[in-house]
Structure 1
Amino acid sequence: MTRVVSLFLPSWSTDRLRRKAGDAAPPVEAPLALIGRDGRRQVVLAVDAAAQAAGARVGMPATKARVLVQGLIVQDHDAVADAEGLDRLALWILQRYAPIVSTDPADGLVIDTTGTDHLHGGEETMLRGLIDRLAVAGISARAAIADTWGAAHALARYAARPVLVAPAGHGSSVLAGLPLAALRLPLDMIAALHVLGFERIGDLLAQPRAPLTLRFGPQLGRRIDQALGTTGEPIDPIRPDDLVEARRNFAEPIGAAETIARYIGKLVVQLCAELEAKGLGAKRLDLICHRVDNRLQAVRVSTATPVRDVKRLTRLLTDKIETIEPGFGIEILSLTATLAEPLAERQTLTVMVDDSVPDVSDLVDTLINRVGERSLYRAEPVATEVPERSVRRIPPMAPEAGKGWPGYWPRPSRLLAPPEPIDTVALLPDHPPVSFTWRGIRRRVRRADGPERIRGEWWRRDAELAAVRDYFRVEDEAGERYWIFRSGDGEDPNTGSQRWFLHGVFG
């Protein structure tokens, strides 16, 4: 079933202006309004959250806004720059989230995520991750996912806080309580419907269609059908000119899996030839199937390193054929290297050469496309003595950085996150516990080694300036070994709570 995300950017114009201005941007707490001309009048065309909270509204005369909002910062609105910025954001999402992305002027994007959400941890995790990444960039956003563009558009603007995941096959149930403006109707039509007593979408759904069409024309019924999915609304995906693409049109639509696989192989050969001419390798491929019913089916595959090996790319794509629903047939196949990076020629090794480093990139590519990029990673040491900060996740095929862990004291094979509190019987300040109780089980300590004192990283925050931990390796009567610590030095309360915790288990 098709799943569509609508990304709503309620203050896109002001957010974009602040990002462009950088350090010279107005403070976030300062109300900001962008103005332009409406005939002979100067009116407000965009406001940020602070200006809106102070009473400024889009469409308000600029002079009234200046009087109403104290300290209002007024700048010119640039619609062209907004559109260009929206295109750049769509390209960024295309490269990272889904193969079918389009702008939804003037304050949003629409994304077909059918079959790709599992690569990002599921629908809700994907949406929250997208919203968080935009927030870090200074862009306010809300997002909703539904079965249709119209439903997702409505929910993102009138129900998402900040994300909303509509259940698959939701029908009209998620739309009935939304206002008429959620249907993307002209303002004069909405006003006329209000005069007749219609306030919510559910009010329209309960009425016969013919009288409404007779009075308001076909647009009202078309918007309702698009939201419900009974009428298709194709998404025209953004495709920058510099993307490497191979395309095939068919005089007769194709639908058999074997036929699709054969033409995928031909497109991969053509695409790899173009990549080779440009010295590039593909890291992400998008296969888009244009069906005769004006719907799109997309397949996305990723690789850990730049690749232009025909056999490998063909296999990754054909493994996904079962996810394609050809419907009444596919009339166009397009294959795009959405993400490509420089790839130098490699000399082919002869049988006389012993290649001591095995190439596991093919296996990594297969796993990435089955479980998702987020689920496959490698651990890399971090230059810190604080245990929970000493490891970070990196891509599985990232180059070796030559880093290592400090070798002063042994570390457990398993760390608990977060450390779990334990009850202890111990002599202070430098002795290990005689016994400790963890998860309801009392364990007597037979052997112990320590303490190893680890100090806080004072440059991170003031609370760590005096903080210390005293770690001990202990072994209980059953031979199990644990890594425990006391928060504090055992004497000064400023160094920690003096409570005991279990942080790791030795294998």
Structure 2
Amino acid sequence: MTRVVSLYFPTWPTDRLRRSMGQSALSAEIPMVMLGRQGNRRLVLAADAAAAGLGVRIGMPAAKAQALVARLEIRDADPAGDAEALERLALWILQRVAPIVAADHPDGIVIDTTGADHLHRGEAAMLDGLVGRLAMSGVAARAAVADTWGAAHALARFSPDGARIAAPGHGSSVIAALPIEALRLPSGMPAALRVLGFERINDLIARPRAPLALRFGPALGRRLDQAHGRAAEPIEPIRPAELTEVRRAFAEPISAAETIARYIGKLVHTLCMNLEQKGQGARRLDLICQRVDSRAQAIRVGMAKPVRDVKRLTRLLCDKIETIDPGFGIETMTLSAIIAEPLEARQMATSLIEDTEPDISDLIDTLANRVGERSIYRAAPVASDVPERSVNRVAALAPDTGASWPDAWPRPARLLLTPEPVETIALLPDHPPVSFTWRGVRRRVRRADGPERVFGEWWKRDAELVAIRDYFRVEDEAGERYWLYRAGDGEDEATGSQRWFIHGVFG
């Protein structure tokens, strides 16, 4: 089933302007508006959250806005610059989220995420990640996902929730209560419908189509059908100018998996030849299959390092053929190297010259494309005495920096995601526990070693200026070994709560 994400940027013009100003940008607390001309009138075309909170509205005369808000920051609107920046943002999302992305002018982006959400740990995590990354960049965003572009567009802009996930196969119920402006109708039509008593989309659903079409033309019925999934609304994906791409159109639509696999191999061969001419290898490939019903099916594969091996790329793509629904047939297939990087030819080593390390990138690519790129990683050391800060996740094939963990004190094979509290019997201030209770099981300590004192990192947080942890390695009567610590030095409450926690388990 098709799933579409709609991103809505309610204050895009002002957010873009602040981002372009860099360090000299005005504070978000200063109200700002963008003005433009409509005929001889100078009107507010965009307003940030601060200005909107003070009563400024889109379409308000500039003089009224200035009289309403003192010290209002006024700038000239730049619709062309806004549109260009929106296209650049769409390209950024294209490389990171899904193969089919397009700008939804003037203030949004639409993404076909069918089959791609599992690579981002589900739809909820995907939306949270997108909105969060944009917020960190200074762009306010609302997001929604639904079965159709029209439904997702309506939810993102008119749903009371900041982010909305409509259940697959939702039908018309999710948008029935929304105002008629959510249907993306031509300018002036919503006002004319309101004169006739139509307020909500549900009011239009129950009405006969013929009188409405006679009065308002075919646009109203088309928008209703698109929002409810009865009419196709293809998304024309954005493509960068320097993109390496090959395309194959078929005189007769194809649908058999074997036929699709055969043409995938031909497209990969042609694409690799084009990449070879540029001295590049593919890091991410998108295959878009355009069906005869104007719907698109897309698959994406990623590589840990640049690759130009025809057999390897063909296998990675063919592993995902089962996710393609050909419908009544595929009439066009397009293969794109969304991310391509320089790939230098290297001389193959022989055993007489040197020993070569085994290349595991093929295995990493296979696993990453099955379970998600974020699920394949390795742990790298970080210069920090605080255990949970001393490790970081990096890409599986990230270069080795040469850093290592200190070996003065042993560390557990399994470090808990967050320390868990335990009940202990211990003699203060510096004795290990005699016994401890963890997850409802009481364990008597037979041997112990410590304490290892870890001080807080005062340069990160003021609260850690005097913070102390005392770590102990303990072994219970069953021979199991654990890593416990006491928060504090056992005497001064300012150094910690003096409570005990378990932080890891030794193998």
Q: What range is the shorter-chain TM-score in?
A: over 0.9
Any unmatched runs of 5+ in structure 2?
A: none
Residue deviations 1:271-330, cap 9 Å, x none?
Answer: 111111111110100111122222211111111111011110011111111222222222
Structure 2 CA distance for aligned equivalents of residues 182 and 352 of structure 1: 70
- 1:160 Cα offset (Å): 6.1
**1:409-424 to 2 correspondence within 5 Å?**
409-424=409-424
Q: For residues 147-296 of structure 1, what are the structure 2 equivalents within 5 Å?
A: 147-159=147-159, 161-296=161-296
How many angstroms apart in 2 are the aligned matches of 1:167 and 1:311? Answer: 39
Q: Aligned partners of 1:81 and 1:223: how far apart in 2?
A: 29
Partner of 1:322: 322
Q: Which residue does the alignment assign to 2:81?
A: 81
**SS of the residue aligned with 1:312?**
helix
- Counterparts of 2:421 and 2:428, CA distance in 1: 18
* Aligned residue identity for 1:357: E
Q: Distance in 2 between matches of 1:172 and 1:227?
A: 8
Instruction: Output the CA distance in 1 between the equivalents of 2:356 and 2:278.
Output: 30
3-state SS of 2:167 partner? coil
Q: Is the 8 A contact 1:143 1:160 kept in 2?
A: no
Q: CA separation in 2, counterparts of 1:65 and 1:372?
A: 50
In 1, Cα distance between the equivalents of 2:481 and 2:252?
Answer: 69
Conservation of the 8 A alpha-carbon contact between 2:435 and 2:442: yes
Amino acid at match of 2:46: A
Counterparts in 2 of 1:421-432, with a 5 A limit? Answer: 421-432=421-432
Deviations 1:195-214 (A, max 9, x none): 22111111111111112112
| Paired residues of 1:8 and 1:143 also in contact (CA < 8 A) | yes
Kindly report the root-mean-square deviation, in angstroms, between the aligned alpha carbons of the 2 structures.
Answer: 1.3
TM-score (norm 1): 0.98
- Equivalences for 1:343-382 in 2 at 5 Å? 343-350=343-350, 352=352, 355-382=355-382
State the distance in 2 between where 1:383 and 1:122 align: 33
Q: Distance in 2 between matches of 1:293 and 1:272?
A: 30
CA distance in 2 between counterparts of 1:335 and 1:423 reads 59
Count of paired positions: 507
**Cα distance in 2 between the residues matched to 1:479 and 1:124:** 42
Aligned counterpart, 2:98: 98
Task: Return 413-422 or 220-229, whichever deviates more.
Answer: 413-422
* Paired position in structure 2 for 1:111: 111
Q: Deviations over 1:464-485 (max 9, x none)?
A: 0110101111112222211111
User: Is 1:433 the equivalent of 2:433?
Assistant: yes
Query: Equivalents in 2 of 1:366, 1:292: separation in Å?
Result: 31
Is the Cα contact below 8 Å between 1:281 and 1:343 reproduced in 2? yes
Q: 1:442 to 1:257 in 2, by over 3 A?
A: closer
Q: Alpha-carbon deviation of 1:416?
A: 1.8
Aligned residue identity for 2:171: G
Quote the residue 2:35 is aligned against: 35
Q: Quick one: distance in 2 between partners of 1:438 and 1:27?
A: 49
Question: How much does 1:231 deviate?
Answer: 0.8
Residue 460 of structure 1 is matched in structure 2 by 460
Q: Deviations over 1:388-447 (max 9, x none)?
A: 111111111111111110111111111222211122221111111222222222222221
TM-score w.r.t. the length of structure 2 is: 0.98
Report the CA distance between 1:135 and its aligned residue.
0.8
* Alpha-carbon distance in structure 1 between the residues aligned to 2:411 and 2:438: 20
CA distance in 2, matches of 1:348, 1:502: 50
- 1:253 offset after TM fit, Å? 2.2
Report SS of the residue matched to 2:188.
helix
Letter in 1 for 2:254: I
The match for 1:499 is 499
Aligned to 2:137: 137
Unaligned 5+ runs, structure 1: none
Paired with 2:479 and 2:330, the residues of 1 have a C-alpha distance of 65
Measure the CA separation in 1 of the matches of 2:344 and 2:71: 57
Tell me which residue corresponds to 2:342. 342
1:141, distance to aligned residue in structure 2 (A):
0.5
Percentage identity across paired residues of the two chains: 68
Contact 2:281 2:308 in 1 (8 A): yes
